């Protein structure tokens, strides 16, 4: 074998995995677990370089970077697929659609989820898995007990039409902003509040700049792990299979830690003594549900009426 061929064989295959949250979050930990599993399974033939905290690319930029092949793997939240021309992932943003994680997993682990990932191929990317974070809460610098408490506030959202409609239904002013800019915007008063699972809130230090956090669990935040299609299809098949297996295990790991990570973060928010945590009572929750009940119908044309109906039927 000519020496350059030996050299080529020995060159590791590098997967640059960019994401925007802290390493100490469900996504951050699952990315590191995938790295370990992938490197082990391929005996070092694949090297995974994980770049957390928007170190390499920020929200929209990482999607472009993936399509251009400047990174190989990313795991954007399901609210961020609009720039790919894929709005149906925003179904996961519909307020109060999923009663719990079990219902959500019936979609993400079932044929509906598989079909959604499959359709990404048309966009030049391969959808490998859904990763969990958890249910979102609202925060601001005032108590948030009733939906009307958000009226008039500027609230940061991810770039999702559904989230935009959700905030407007509450009489708030939605402001789309990259994740990495939220802390500074809250600190400067550019926005008054935000929504996120406790883990994202706490690991960004938002307890320093938000006095109230209401556990509303009004919507879900999760991810699709996606890879550049050409990169993936050009991999030797045995490498691709090993990576698929590593991804299955990392996905199970993400599902197994997400609730505990968010519980831990919620306790840490409470313990910080800086942010008052309120858990909605059942009566309060019903009022929020009612205030947001029209969003689903309003968004049918954006997401697809059939998809919403299929999901509702599947979760029962």
Which residue ranges make up the site for ligand LMR (CB under 6 A)? 20-21, 27, 77, 133, 158, 179, 196, 200, 221
Report, in Å, the least distance between residue 193 CB and ligand LMR. Answer: 13
Residue with Cβ nearer ligand LMR (72 or 132): 132
Residue among 92, 84, 97, 117 at smallest CA distance from 225: 117
Counting beta carbons within 10 angstroms of the beta carbon of residue 166, is it exposed (0 to 12), middle (13 to 18) or buried (19 or more)? buried
Residue with Cβ nearer ligand LMR (41 or 221): 221
Sign of CA dihedral 182, 49, 228, 4: positive
Report, in Å, the least distance between residue 50 CB and ligand LMR. Answer: 14
Report, in Å, the least distance between residue 185 CB and ligand LMR. Answer: 12
Strands in 137-140's sheet, in edge-to-edge order, are: 194-196, 137-140, 212-215, 276-279
Residue with Cβ nearer ligand LMR (77 or 137): 77
Residue with Cβ nearer ligand LMR (41 or 215): 215
- Dist. CA 270–CA 136, nearest whole Å: 16
- Dist. CA 284–CA 150, nearest whole Å: 14
Report, in Å, the least distance between residue 182 CB and ligand LMR. Answer: 7
What the block records as the tokens of 225 is 């792990």
Counting beta carbons within 10 angstroms of the beta carbon of residue 294, is it exposed (0 to 12), middle (13 to 18) or buried (19 or more)? exposed
Residue with Cβ nearer ligand LMR (46 or 62): 62
Residue with Cβ nearer ligand LMR (97 or 221): 221
Report, in Å, the least distance between residue 167 CB and ligand LMR. Answer: 14
Report, in Å, the least distance between residue 230 CB and ligand LMR. Answer: 25
- Dist. CA 145–CA 278, nearest whole Å: 8
């Amino acid at each position: 074998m000519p020496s350059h061929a030996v050299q080529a064989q020995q060159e590791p295959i590098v997967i640059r995995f960019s994401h925007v949250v802290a390493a100490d979050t469900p996504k951050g930990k699952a990315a590191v677990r995938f790295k370990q599993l992938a490197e082990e399974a391929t005996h070092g033939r694949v090297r995974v370089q994980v770049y957390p905290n928007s170190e390499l690319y920020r929200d929209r930029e990482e999607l472009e970077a993936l399509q251009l092949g400047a990174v190989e793997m990313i795991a954007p939240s399901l609210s961020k697929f609009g720039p790919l021309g894929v709005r149906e992932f925003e179904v996961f943003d519909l307020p109060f659609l999923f009663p719990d994680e079990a219902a959500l997993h019936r979609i993400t682990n079932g044929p509906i989820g598989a079909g959604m990932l499959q359709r990404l191929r048309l966009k030049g990317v391969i959808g490998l898995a859904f990763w969990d974070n958890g249910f979102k809460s609202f925060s601001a610098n005032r108590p948030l007990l009733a939906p009307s408490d958000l009226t008039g506030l500027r609230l940061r959202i991810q770039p999702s039409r559904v989230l935009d409609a959700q905030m407007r239904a509450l009489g708030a002013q939605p402001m789309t902003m990259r994740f990495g800019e939220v802390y500074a915007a809250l600190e400067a008063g550019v926005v008054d509040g935000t929504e996120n699972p406790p883990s994202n809130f706490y690991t960004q230090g938002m307890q320093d700049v938000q006095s109230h956090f209401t556990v509303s669990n009004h919507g879900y935040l999760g991810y699709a792990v996606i890879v550049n299609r050409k990169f993936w299809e050009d991999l030797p098949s045995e490498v691709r299979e090993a990576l698929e297996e590593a991804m299955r295990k990392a996905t199970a790991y993400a599902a197994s830690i997400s609730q505990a990570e968010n519980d831990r973060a919620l306790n840490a928010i409470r313990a910080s003594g800086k942010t008052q945590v309120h858990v909605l009572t059942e009566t309060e929750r019903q009022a929020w549900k009612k205030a947001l009940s029209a969003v689903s119908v309003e968004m049918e044309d954006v997401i697809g009426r059939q998809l919403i109906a299929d999901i509702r039927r599947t979760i029962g």
